[in-house]
Each structure stands twice: as C-alpha cells, then as structure tokens.
Amino acid sequence: MQYRVSFEFRLTRHSCWPGNGFGFYDHVDAVRDKIAVHERVSGVRVITDFAESSLTFDFVLDAPGHDWAISESVRLVREAIESCDARHFGMDGIGTGSLVGAGARPGVETPIWHKRRVLIDLAA
C-alpha cells in the first residue's frame, strides 16, 4: 500500500543563515535528498517559506500498513535530519509533543527542526 506523508516544520538557527538565506535552502535540500534515497520513498516534495521559517515535506511511502507507515516515516525523517548535523524536537513519534531534542550537538549554527504536525493517509 502507498501512503502520502506530510511533515510540517519550523526550521530555525540561533545565528543567521549564511548567504542571505541560501544556507536555509541548502540545508533543506540536503535533508530532502537523504529522504529521497530510501527505497520505499518516492515523489519527495518540499515547500519552503524562508520568511516564516517554515517548510513542509511531502512524499509517498510504500508500507505494509498504517501503523508501520507512521513509525517508518518518522524514523526516516528523524534520521535524515540527524545525518545533516541538525537537531529536532517532537520527532519521538506522531503523538508526542516532546520538548526534549535530539540530533547534533547544540550550537549557534546548528539547524533546529520543530515538528508542527504530521499527516498520513492512503495515497490516491
């Protein structure tokens, strides 16, 4: 079965993004590329709004069931963020609003991903 997965984030740093914001887009592209190489993922799209420090990842995930799609999509995105030397909050699972972050060591240049919400449904 195929599921459409959509993650909404607020993406921040304690210091300004390099290159008048180009660093923001470069970082988002790096995370997108990490997600896209997974064999069960297709059609990765990202919608960004630098002025609002927000973005949405949207992709299709082949999964044997809904529960597996939930846990696997969170794992894939969490690992992609961590592999790009960033931190994340709220990625312990779909239903958690954890205030405990994980990922790279904190620093003024470390990107910080704050999960706003996740939507998962059967793909059309």
Confidence (pLDDT) at 91: 86
pLDDT tens digits, one per residue of 97-116: 444 456 656 678 899 999 99
Measured between alpha carbons, how far is 61 from 38 in angstroms, rounded to an integer? 9
Stretch 112-121: mean pLDDT, rounded? 95
CB count within 10 Å of CB 33 equals: 12
**Domain locations in the chain as residue ranges:** 2-122
Instruction: Look at phi and psi of residue 90 and say left if phi exceeds 0, alpha if psi is from -120 to 50, else beta.
Output: left
The CATH number of 2-122 is which of 3.30.450, 3.30.70, 3.30.310, 1.20.1300?
Answer: 3.30.70
Which is nearest to 93 in space by CA: 57, 66, 117? 117
Read off the pTM: 0.88
- Is residue 84's pLDDT more than 70? yes
